[in-house]
Structure 1
Amino acid sequence: MRRVKKWFVMGLLSCAACFMLINLLFTAVPAASAAAEQSKPGEIGETVYIIRAEQTIESGLQRFLERAYAEAENAKAERVLLIINTLGGRVDSAEEIGHMIRTSKVPTTAFVQGKAVSAGTYIALNAQQLVMEPGSTIGSAAVVDATGTLITNPKTVSYWTEEMKEAARLGGRDPNIAAAMVNPDITLELKELGRTKQKGDILALSATDALKVGYADFTASSVDEVLNHLGISQPSVVEVKPTAVERIAQFLTQPLVMTLLLIIGIAGVAIELVVPGFGAPGIIGIAAFGLYFFGHVIAGFAGMEEVILFVLGIVLLIIELFVPSFGILGILGSASLIAGVVLAAPDPKSALVSLAVALVAAGTIVFFVAKRFQHRGIWNRFILRDSLTTAEGYVSTADKASYLGQKGRSITPLRPAGTARIGTERVDVVTSGEFIGADVAVEVIKVEGTRVVVQQWNETTLK
C-alpha cells in the first residue's frame, strides 16, 4: 500500500512539473508558422497581419490575440486586419481585448464576417476602422449570464452601457446607438433608418443599417476588397493562425471533451485505489487529468494555482486511506479537488455540471470494475480470510465434553481452580466455589468449552 501511495504522489507531482515546463516552453517560443503565411515576400508594400477572432470570446481567444498582436508589433506591421465572427462571450475578456486594440502600436481594421454581436460588438468598436460584410450583423450587446438570461442589475447594465458608449466615441460614432444595443429600457429614434428602437428591445444593426447610421465605414465582400478600399497596393499579407498547441487546447477545452477527460481521470484513479495492482488505470487517469489541466492552462483559463489545488486534493484523499482523520482529510481533499477543477474552467457553473456528470459516470464504472475484481480489492488486505481448519494443518482445542460424568482425584488443592487426574490425563479443573483438598475424589459435573467443573465425590476409592 505504501508503494501505491508513493507512486500516485510522485506521479501527480511529476505531472504538475510537466505542466509548468510545457507552459513555459510554448509561451516562450514564438509561433514560426505565422511567417510561413506571408503571401508576397518579394513585393514592396504595407505589411498587413490578418488575425481571426472566430470563436467565443474568452481568455483563450484573448491569449491568442495578445500573441498575434505582439508578433505584428515586432514585425513593425502597418496594419492589423481583425476578422470578427462571434456570438460574444465573456465581458472581462472583451474589455482586455478592446484595451489591447486601442493601445496597440499597429492600427486595426475590424472586418465583420457573419456576426459581431454582444461582446464582439465592443471589440469591433475599438478598432480604428469598422468594415462589414454584406449580410453581417452587429449589436445585441446586452449582458447575459452563462444560461443566456438577461442581467438586469442596474449597476452592471450602467457600467457596460458606458463602456460601449466610450468605445463608440473613439470612432466618432453616435454613443446613443451603442447604449441602445445594451440597455433594453432605452427608446431611441433612428431617423436614418426611419424607425424607432422601442423599450424592451435590444438594438442590432445589419451591414446596410450600420452603414447608414455611421457605424460601418464601408462594406466589403472579401479581404482583398477591404485592402483595395483602404488603398493598400501590393500588400505583404501575413495571416496569424493558432499554433498546434493552441488548437489542441481548444479541442481539450470543449465541454464534451472536458467531461470525458474528467470521467476517465476520476474512474482511473479510483480503480487504482480500490482495486490496486493493475497500474494502467492509474496511469490513464493521471494522463486524463494532465490533459484536462494542460488544455486549460494553454488556453489561458487556468494557472498553476489550480493545478496545485487539484494535486493537493488527490494527495489528501490518498492519505485519508491510510491515516485515520475522522473524514477531515477526505473532506479537505474533496474540496480542494473540486476547487481545482472548477477554477480551471472558463465557466464555474458549466464546470460543476461537468464534474457532477463525471462523478456519476465514473462511480458507475468503478462499481462494476470493483465488483468484477473484488478479490483484488484494497480492503481484502485488511481481512483474514484463511480458515484455521484441521485440513489446513491447524490443531483446534481438544474437545473436553467426554469428561462429563467421569470420576477422578484432585492432584492439587482446588481453591477453586487446580489440577485433577481424570482417567490417565491431568486436567485443569475448577469447583463451583467450594474448597477441595489434594488427593480427594472428584466427579465432573459440567463442561463449558475448555472449562471443566468438578465437585467432591463421596466414595473413598476409585474403581
Structure 2
Amino acid sequence: MRIILYFLLIAAGFTLMSFSTSMAQDAGEGRTVYFVPVEETVERGLEAFLSRAIETAEEENVDHIVFEMNTPGGRVDAAGEIAKLVRESEIPTTAYIVREAMSAGAYISLNADEIVMQPGTEMGSAQVIDGTGSAADDKAQSAWLGNMRSAAELNDRDPQYALAMADPAIEIEDLGLEEGQLLTLTSSEALSVGYAEAIAEDREELLEYLELEGAEEMEFELSLAEQIARIVTHPIVIPILLSVGGLGLVLELYSPGFGIPGIMGASALFLFFFGHTVAGFAGLESLILFIVGAGLLVLEVFSPSFGIFGILGLGAILGSLVMSSFSTVNIIISFVIAILVTLAGLIILIKYIDRAGPMKRVVLTDATTSDLGYVSNVTREELKGSTGEALTVLRPSGSALINEERLDVVSEGGYIEQGRKIKVISVNGSRIVVREVSNQEMN
C-alpha cells in the first residue's frame, strides 16, 4: 500500500506539472510580443523609430513590447522624449538589457514597467555631460537628478540608486560605492536592490518569466530610411552635411557645367532634409523655403541688389533649417559652422586653387590670350609715326587719311580742324591717336 501511495503521489505531481505547463502555454498562445531594438546612441532619430514602433504595436493590438537595450547613452532631450513614449504606452513594456543600458539608456529602462537583464549585463553611469565632455552645469544636473528620481519611483524602486547613477557625490556602502564614482549595477546587483525583476539568459526564459510561452514573437526593425535618418540627424553629422553642401555649391559656381562639387553639395543637403523628414522633424514647407532661399542667393550673384537678395536668401535658408531641426540652438550652431567652412573654402579657392594641385582641375583656367593666337582686332603698329590729313573735324574723334587709307582716329586731346596735317603718335588696338603737326615738321 505504501509503494502504491508513493506511485500515486509521483503520478499526481507529473500530472500537475504537465497541467501547469499546458496552462502556461495556452496563456501565451494567440498572444503577440514585439521585440524592439534600442541600440547605439540615443538621439532624435531613435525617438522617431520608437514612436513608430509603439504606435504600430498599439494599432495591431500587441500584448507586450520588449525593448532590447544595448546602448551607451546619448542625448538627454531625446532620452526624455523616448522615456515619455515608453511611460505612456498603453501596452505593457519590458526593458530587456541584452548588453548594457548606460546613461540615457538606464533612464529609458527605468520608465518601462519591468526590467529584465541577461547575465553579465550592466546599467547605470548616467551623469549629464556637455558638448566638451565635462559635467553639465548645476541647473541641468539638478533637472536630470529629478528625472532619475521620478523614473525610479515610477515602479516603487529605491531612488538612491538612480541618484547614485547620476551624482558622483553619493556613497552607497552596501555596494562599495565611494564618493567620486558613478553607480553601475551588474545584473545580480540590480536584482538584489530591486532594479531588475528577473535575470533571463535568452528570449525563451524572458517569455517564461512574463508568462507568455508560446506567444508569437515579432521583430520590429529599422527600415533603410530610418537607418539613414538616425545617422544624418546626429548632432555631429548635421554641421558636416551643411558644410559639405555649402562648400560644394560654392565650388560649383567656379566650375563649368554641373559636376562633382555640385553633386556632392546637392546630395549633402538632400540627405539633411530626407533624414529630418523621415524622423518627423521636417515637412514640405521647409524644403520649399530652402529652395526659395537658394534661388535668392543665385539671383544675388547674377543680379546684384546691394545685398538685399543675399540677406533674404540667407534668412530663408536659416528659417528652413530651423523648421527642419529638433533643436534651434543646435541648428544655428551648425549653420554658423557651415558658413565659416564655406567662407574658408572660398578664400582658399580664390587664393590658391588656380596655382597648383589637383584642385586646379575644378576651375576653368583656359583663356583666349594673344599669346595663344587669339586676337580680337589687329593692332596697326606700322602706322606709328605715319602722317596724314584730317578728313573731318577731330573733337577729339573723327576720320583721317593716312597712307592713302581712311581711318578712324582720335586726337591727343585737343581740337583739330578739317584739312590739318596730323601724325600718328601711338596705336593701341583699334585706337589710333594723332596730333596736329606743321608743314615744317611734316618735311
Note whether the superposition's TM-score is higher than 0.5: yes
Q: Unpaired runs of 5+ in structure 2?
A: 1-24, 427-431
Equivalent residues in 2 for 1:249-264, closer than 5 Å: 249-250=229-230
CA gap 1:229/1:365 in 2 versus in 1, 3 angstroms = farther
When the two structures are superposed, what TM-score results if normalisation uses the length of structure 1?
0.68
Following the alignment from structure 1 to structure 2, what is the Cα–Cα distance between the partners of residues 354 and 278? 25
Superposition pairs of residues 438-457 of structure 1, within 5 angstroms = 450-455=433-438
Q: How has the CA–CA distance of structure 1 residues 84 and 323 changed in structure 2, closer, same or farther, with 3 Å as cutoff?
A: same
**What displacement does 1:339 show?**
7.4
Tell me by how many angstroms 1:316 deviates.
3.1
Partners of 1:431 and 1:125 in 2: how far apart?
Answer: 93
Range with greater deviation from structure 2 (213-222 or 365-374)? 365-374
Matched, 1:172 2:156: yes
What is the CA–CA distance in structure 1 between the aligned matches of 2:159 and 2:374, rounded to whole Å? 95
In the TM superposition, residue 177 of structure 1 has moved relative to its aligned partner by: 2.0
Gap change, CA 1:55 and 1:340, over 3 Å in 2: farther
Aligned counterparts of 2:237 and 2:85: Cα–Cα separation in 1:
31
What residue in structure 2 maps to residue 66 of structure 1?
51
Instruction: Give the counterpart of 1:155 among 118, 122, 139.
Output: 139
The superposition leaves residues 137-172 of structure 1 with CA deviations (integer Å, 9 ceiling, x where unpaired) of: 111111112343211x22222211111111111111
For residue 74 of structure 2, give the secondary structure of its aligned residue in structure 1: coil
Post-superposition Cα deviations, 1:178-203, rounded to whole Å, max 9, x if no partner, equal 2222223334x45xx353x4333222
Report the Cα offset of residue 282 of structure 1. Answer: 3.6
Greater length-normalized contact order (CA 8 Å, ≥ 6 residues apart): 1
Are 1:244 and 2:224 counterparts? yes
1:372 — aligned with what? 361
**In structure 1, how many angstroms separate the alpha carbons of the residues matched to 2:396 and 2:301?**
50
3-state SS in 2 of match to 1:131: strand
Q: Distance in 2 between matches of 1:156 and 1:248?
A: 30
| Contact kept in structure 1, 2:35 and 2:219, CA below 8 Å | yes
- Report if aligned partners of 2:29, 2:213 keep a CA contact under 8 Å in 1: no
Relative to 1, partners in 2 of residues 1:451 and 1:112: Cα closer, same or farther, differing over 3 Å? same
1:83 alignment partner, one of 55, 61, 68: 68
What's the C-alpha RMSD, in Å, of the aligned pairs? 5.0
Task: Indicate which of 245, 267, 271 corresponds to 1:287.
Answer: 267
1:240 CA drift (Å): 1.1
Q: Deviations over 1:59-109 (max 9, x none)?
A: 111111111111211122221111111111122222222222222110111
> Which residue in 2 is equivalent to 1:130?
115
Distance in structure 1 (CA, Å) of the matches to 2:113 and 2:258: 61
Q: What SS does the corresponding residue of 1:277 show, helix, strand or coil?
A: coil
Q: What is the DSSP-based 3-state SS (H/G/I as helix, E as strand, rest coil) of the residue aligned with 1:145? A: coil
Amino acid at match of 2:120: G
Report the residue type matching 1:274 in the other structure.
Y
The equivalent of 2:254 in structure 1 is 274
SS at match of 1:269: helix
Q: Distance in 2 between matches of 1:429 and 1:77?
A: 94
Percent identity at matched positions? 37
The equivalent of 1:205 in structure 2 is 185
In structure 1, C-alpha distance between the alignment counterparts of 2:198 and 2:247, rounded to whole Å? 55
Describe how 1:389-428 pairs up with structure 2 within 5 A. 394=377, 402=385
Letter in 1 for 2:42: I
Equivalent residue letter for 2:41: T
Q: Distance in 1 between matches of 2:198 and 2:108?
A: 17
Residues 326-359 of structure 1: CA deviation (Å, up to 9, x unaligned): 4564466467657766874886599579848975
Contact 2:34-2:217 at 8 Å conserved across structures: yes
- Deviation track 1:34-60 (CA, whole Å, cap 9, x = no partner) reads xxxxxx9xx834321111111211111
SS of the residue corresponding to residue 149 of structure 1 reads: coil
Alignment CA distance shift 1:101-1:262 (3 Å): closer
User: What does residue 222 of structure 1 align with?
Assistant: 202
Identify the residue that residue 234 of structure 1 maps to in structure 2. Answer: 214
In structure 1, stretches of 5+ residues that fail to align are 1-39
- Going from structure 1 to structure 2, the CA distance change for 1:55 and 1:327 (only over 3 Å counts) comes to same
**In 2, Cα distance between the equivalents of 1:67 and 1:429?**
81
Are residues 303 and 433 of structure 1, via their aligned partners in 2, closer, same or farther at CA, if it must alter by over 3 Å? closer
The count of corresponding residues between Structure 1 and Structure 2 is 402
Cα distance in 2 between the residues matched to 1:431 and 1:81: 94
Paired with 1:443 and 1:437, the residues of 2 have a C-alpha distance of 9
Give the AA of the match of 1:319: L
After superposition, the Cα gap between the structure-2 partners of 1:434 and 1:450, relative to the gap in structure 1 and judged at 3 Å, is closer
Distance, in Å, in 2 between the alignment partners of 1:294 and 1:44 is 41
SS at match of 2:41: coil
Distance change in 2, residues 1:332/1:413 (3 Å):
closer
> For residues 415 and 78 of structure 1, what CA distance do their matches in structure 2 show?
100
The 2-side partners of 1:400 and 1:214 are apart by 106
**Taking structure 1 as reference, are residues 184 and 309 closer, same or farther at Cα in structure 2, changes over 3 Å only?**
farther
- Alpha carbons of 1:263 and 1:425: their partners in 2 closer, same or farther (altered >3 Å)? closer
Instruction: After TM superposition, give the deviation of residue 225 of structure 1 in Å.
Output: 0.6
Normalised by the length of structure 2, the TM-score is 0.71
- Is the 2:242–2:338 Cα contact (8 Å) retained in structure 1? yes
Q: Which amino acid aligns with 1:165?
A: R
Instruction: For 2:126, give the aligned amino acid.
Output: A
Structure 2 residue aligned with 1:186, among 146, 170, 183?
170
Contact 2:246–2:339 under 8 Å retained in 1: no
Q: Are 1:249 and 1:299, in contact at CA under 8 Å, matched by a contact in 2?
A: yes
Q: Quote the Cα distance in structure 2 between the aligned partners of 1:411 and 1:78.
A: 106
Residue 230 of structure 1 aligns with an amino acid whose one-letter code is L
Q: 1:104 maps to what in 2?
A: 89
* Structure 1 equivalent of residue 4 of structure 2: none
Taking structure 1 as reference, are residues 113 and 453 closer, same or farther at Cα in structure 2, changes over 3 Å only? same
C-alpha change, 1:431 and 1:260, in structure 2 (3 Å) is closer
